[in-house]
Amino acid sequence: ELRIGAYFDVVLGADDVKRGKPAPDMILKACKLTKCSPRDAVFVGDSRSDMLMGKNARVKLCIGVLTGPTSKEKLEKIADIVVPSITSLRVKE
């Protein structure tokens, strides 16, 4: 067990929805549970199937991170932006 639940409003996996990646079900369920429109959501993932899931959910922005199995070149083909890792992300105030 990762014990990360306290850091997130919702934690979902493929077993929590009818269809797994690249179907948009996980993102759509998370948005519904948090009362956030997918068009206002930003999705971060490290694989091609993650990016396809974000695109299929029509989120505002799909961010690819290079900490997973997919190369920068492959992520750049589908992600809106690619960063080295999630720690590269900053919130503008």
Q: Is pLDDT larger for residue 7 or for residue 85? A: 85
Which pLDDT belongs to residue 93? 76
Contacts of 46 (CB under 8 A, 6+ apart): 64, 65, 66, 67, 68, 69, 70, 75
**Three-class SS state of 42:** strand
Q: Are residues 9 and 36 in contact, defined by beta-carbon separation less than 8 angstroms?
A: no
| Whole-prediction pTM | 0.88
What is the mean pLDDT of the segment spanning 57-80? 96
**CA pair distance 60, 70, nearest whole angstrom:** 22
| Contact criterion met (CB below 8 Å) for 4 and 25 | no
Average pLDDT, the chain: 93
Q: What's the pLDDT tens digit per position in 28-38? A: 999 999 999 99
pLDDT of 60 over the 90 cut:
yes
